[in-house]
Amino acid sequence: MLLLSCSIFGQMYNPVKWTTAVEKISDKEYILKAQAIIQSGWHLYGQYIEEGGPSPTAFTFKNNPKKFELIGKTTEDKGHETVDKIFDMKIKYFEGKAVFAQKIKFTSDEIVNIAAEVEFMVCDDSNCLPPSSEELSFKIPNAKKLASAKATADFAKGDSVQKVEKAAENIDKSTEKAVVNHSEKNKSRGLISIFIIAFLSGFAALLTPCVFPMIPMTVSYFTKQSKTKAAGIKNALIYGFSIVIIYVLLGSIVTAVFGADSLNALSTNVWFNLIFFVLLVVFACSFLGAFEIMLPNSLANKVDSQADRGGLIGIFFMALALAIVSFSCTGPIVGTLLVEAASKGGIAPIVGMLGFSIAIALPFSLFAAFPGWLNALPKSGGWLNTVKVVLGFLELALAFKFLSNADLVLQLHWLEREVFLTIWIAVFAVLALYLFGKITLPHDSPLNHISVGRLIFGLLVLSFTIYLIPGLFGAPLKLISGFPPPMHYSESPDGFGASKNSGETKTILPEGAEFGPQNIVTFHDYKKGMEFAKKAGKPVLLDFTGYACVNCRKMEELVWSDAKVLGVLKNDLVLISLYVDDKKELPESEQYVSETTGKKIKTIGNKWSDLQIKTYKANAQPFYVIVDHNSNNLTQPSAYNPDIENYYDWLNTGIKNFKK
């Protein structure tokens, strides 16, 4: 057997520091404030989370004998809200720092210091820590402005109030700076993706019947009006720059109207999602030929008349005329981009319009500068309307993502996974029939034959449609992960006609076992699992997990579902899943004080968490250890690892070492 030390691998996390302060309102009334300083990259959950989600932050104020009363509920900062795909619910969390406040009123003449306990849970992008608790002390002073409990202790040692407050301020600033840096990295990645999508959308808009024919017309105008080639290039560049200014100005207006900080909050707003579902359906119908979305002709005529003035102003109004005349084709695309960008928040609408406008402006400027390139352009024809119709189908499919978001927030279960996938299958199946010429729509030209490009694209759409069908029967559909509702937000989480334990009906469960994730036989009791492993002659996979652990669910749904990994977990190992957030209390005789943390171990979750900390010097989940029957490690432990091949190799290494 191979015994490996995990002291290097194991890592203890303590990403939250608590401080307290007290604000005096009157001789009897005070506000108790608890501030959590959260390390960069970690987030702390709010107090008010529905049952079935991650563990919320909870305060218990110790009042025995009763000297005071609580006035109202404990309040908390604004924080951030998101619809969690794993838990299917709206969840509030904090980054950087969070302040909680509780108003109290003393009911007797005796003013005493107040003790409290806070229970909380934190996660980062790859780990979730088990629920932890912290003892808090609120010192009720006579002064009006008070420092935290720690600052008060420092002051008692001889530091001045000004020095203590300055130190606390510097700590807060350094923490905020780290959080901002972490946040800025994430935002920059998001803005780059918005820019790329918008840029590609701009090229798609070029291939529509409202825009494409305008290219030779515009180029012809510049070549005839410019006296020299240099002047023509200069005017073309000004024309392209004017297009960019117009669309970026539109993005700026959207940001200014909604507010950069409030746009991100809209992404989980029910009305936001419902309104844009309707808008995208309207845009899709327009592209499919039901009607055209056009700006008033009078506006187009006025702008066009200004374009005849010549000079810089004339060129700018030419660009504005292009934006107005082509609105029936570009409007739905621009609207969709602004919706997506608005849900990202910040300056995303501006960045989106920058990418879109550059893609639109680039061909006009290049062809105006090099007119000879026009000969290489394909001729206008019915294919332009085909592009428009394809965009209409894509708009229609995307619309149901917004409707799904609203359904998830409200937990109505009207648009569950099967219904969503059925709609997408229908949409893309009809698109495939259209591309094969079996269906025609208004404004389509007669189709005598199918081009090679159209045939290939039709086959790709048909293949994608067929790919979606197994999703109705429980397939994970990893290619579109994040678009449909999650697997368990479903009429039948295991697929149509499947019972919870289908596929395992012939398996006789050992004593103390049950069917766990992916229908793997799982033990929740360490001793019973080890006893079974000895009888079966198999190594043990210890799975330190949690009911509220997001990344644990990701591993179970995305990695454990892989056929190779699943085969190993079902056949070659004995799985013992130890839930560190299990709230069931231990019998009084089994409760104890931890040697490592000094805290009392009251629940089953506390017990497994203490085992992980004591044995492996780690407290994050998910955390996987392969051991033999004497609890010796067979390989180095593994944490969150979405790399399927790497995780599969890790499992096999442990099994091979067991057989030595």
Residue 434 domain-assigned (yes or no): no
> Which structure tokens are listed for 331?
């409007």
Instruction: Output the pLDDT for position 302.
Output: 64
- Tell whether 240 and 147 lie within a shared domain: no
CB atoms within 10 A of CB 16: 22
- Tell whether 155 and 201 lie within a shared domain: no
Q: Is the pLDDT of residue 191 over 90?
A: no
Phi, psi for residue 614 in degrees, rounded to 5: -70, -40
- Tell whether 146 and 51 lie within a shared domain: yes
End-to-end CA distance of the chain: 6
Instruction: Check residues 556 and 492 and name the one with the higher pLDDT.
Output: 556
Structural domain count of the chain: 3
pTM of the model: 0.46
The average pLDDT across 490-504 equals 53
Residue 52 domain-assigned (yes or no): yes
Residue 319 domain-assigned (yes or no): yes
Residue 270 domain-assigned (yes or no): yes
Q: How far apart are CA 486 and CA 84, in angstroms?
A: 10
Cis geometry, peptide bond prior to residue 622 (ω within 30 degrees of 0): yes
Q: DSSP label at 374?
A: G
| Residues of the domain holding 38 | 16-159
Which helix H or strand E contains 265, and what residues bound it? helix 260-266
In the three-class reduction of DSSP (H, G, I as helix; E, B as strand; rest coil), residue 641 is classed as coil
Q: Residue 98: beta bridge partners?
A: 36
- Tell whether 133 and 56 lie within a shared domain: yes
Report in angstroms the alpha-carbon separations of 103 from 17, 23, 136, 139, 149.
22, 9, 16, 14, 17
Residue 425 domain-assigned (yes or no): no
In single-letter form, the type of residue at position 385 comes to: N
Instruction: Check residues 423 and 369 and name the one with the higher pLDDT.
Output: 423
Q: Residue 233: beta bridge partners?
A: none
Contacts of 86 (CB under 8 A, 6+ apart): 486, 550, 553, 554
Residue 481 domain-assigned (yes or no): no
Instruction: Output the pLDDT for position 62.
Output: 85
Q: How far apart are CA 574 and CA 569, in angstroms?
A: 7
> Which of the listed residues 348, 382, 415 is the one where a domain comes to its end?
415
Instruction: Output the pLDDT for position 648.
Output: 93
Q: DSSP label at 185?
A: H
Average pLDDT along the chain:
76
In single-letter form, the type of residue at position 482 comes to: G
The average pLDDT across 131-135 equals 81
pLDDT interval class at 481 (50, 70, 90) = low
In single-letter form, the type of residue at position 88 comes to: D
Give the helix ranges, DSSP H, for 411-496: 417-435, 452-468
CB atoms within 10 A of CB 562: 18
Which of these, 70, 85, 67, lies nearest to 32 by C-alpha position?
Answer: 70
Return the residue matching tokens 């009305």: 271
- Tell whether 149 and 210 lie within a shared domain: no
Q: DSSP label at 559?
A: I
DSSP-derived pairing of the beta strands 16-24 and 513-515: unpaired
Q: How far apart are CA 56 and CA 44, in angstroms?
A: 9
Contacts of 539 (CB under 8 A, 6+ apart): 533, 572, 573, 574, 626, 627, 628, 634, 654, 655, 658
- Tell me which of 207-221, 249-263, 451-465, 566-580 is least confident: 249-263
Instruction: Output the pLDDT for position 54.
Output: 78
Instruction: Check residues 135 and 295 and name the one with the higher pLDDT.
Output: 135
The average pLDDT across 3-13 equals 44
Which burial class, exposed, middle or buried, applies to 310 when counting CB atoms under 10 A from its CB (0-12, 13-18, 19+)? Answer: exposed
- Tell whether 149 and 266 lie within a shared domain: no
The average pLDDT across 608-634 equals 88
Return the residue matching tokens 């996979």: 541
CATH number at residue 546: 3.40.30.10
Q: Is the pLDDT of residue 468 over 70?
A: yes
Q: Residue 633: beta bridge partners?
A: 627
Residue 478 domain-assigned (yes or no): no
* Max Cα–Cα distance, the chain, nearest Å: 98
Instruction: Output the pLDDT for position 332.
Output: 66
Report in angstroms the alpha-carbon separations of 201 from 38, 204, 315.
39, 5, 24
Q: Is the pLDDT of residue 443 over 90?
A: no
Return the residue matching tokens 């990259």: 41
pLDDT interval class at 512 (50, 70, 90) = confident
* Beta strands, E only, 63-185: 68-76, 80-84, 89-94, 97-106, 114-120, 122-123, 132-138
Q: How far apart are CA 426 and CA 449, in angstroms?
A: 25
Contact (CB, 8 A) for 341 and 187 = no
Contact (CB, 8 A) for 619 and 129 = yes
- Tell whether 575 and 629 lie within a shared domain: yes
CATH number at residue 72: 2.60.40.1250
Instruction: Check residues 391 and 303 and name the one with the higher pLDDT.
Output: 391
**Dihedral sign, CA of 169, 170, 174, 175?**
negative
Q: Is the pLDDT of residue 231 over 90?
A: no
Q: DSSP label at 557?
A: I
Q: Is the pLDDT of residue 183 over 80?
A: no
- Tell me which of 130-144, 298-312, 345-359 is least confident: 298-312
Contact (CB, 8 A) for 562 and 644 = yes
Helix axes 214-225, 348-369, angle to 10 degrees: 60
Contact (CB, 8 A) for 149 and 136 = yes
Share of the chain above pLDDT 70, in %: 71
Q: How far apart are CA 249 and CA 350, in angstroms?
A: 8
- Tell whether 247 and 380 lie within a shared domain: yes
Contact (CB, 8 A) for 560 and 520 = yes
Instruction: Check residues 121 and 310 and name the one with the higher pLDDT.
Output: 121
- Tell whether 348 and 411 lie within a shared domain: yes
- Tell whether 552 and 624 lie within a shared domain: yes
In the three-class reduction of DSSP (H, G, I as helix; E, B as strand; rest coil), residue 3 is classed as coil
> Which structure tokens are listed for 358?
């550059």
Instruction: Output the pLDDT for position 293.
Output: 65
Report in angstroms the alpha-carbon separations of 549 from 37, 117, 374, 487, 640.
22, 23, 58, 16, 11
> Which of the listed residues 111, 140, 159 is the one where a domain comes to its end?
159
CB atoms within 10 A of CB 119: 14
> Which of the listed residues 415, 432, 456 is the one where a domain comes to its end?
415
Report in angstroms the alpha-carbon separations of 126 from 42, 190, 200, 485, 639.
10, 19, 32, 22, 8
Q: How far apart are CA 392 and CA 280, in angstroms?
A: 9
In single-letter form, the type of residue at position 618 comes to: A
Helix axes 382-410, 270-288, angle to 10 degrees: 160
Q: What is the pLDDT of residues 398-441, one digit of tens each?
A: 889 888 877 765 667 788 888 999 999 999 999 999 999 998 88
Instruction: Check residues 262 and 321 and name the one with the higher pLDDT.
Output: 321
Instruction: Output the pLDDT for position 388.
Output: 81
- Tell whether 333 and 201 lie within a shared domain: yes
- Tell whether 529 and 571 lie within a shared domain: yes
In single-letter form, the type of residue at position 185 comes to: K
Residue 287 domain-assigned (yes or no): yes
Which helix H or strand E contains 545, and what residues bound it? strand 540-545
pLDDT interval class at 85 (50, 70, 90) = low
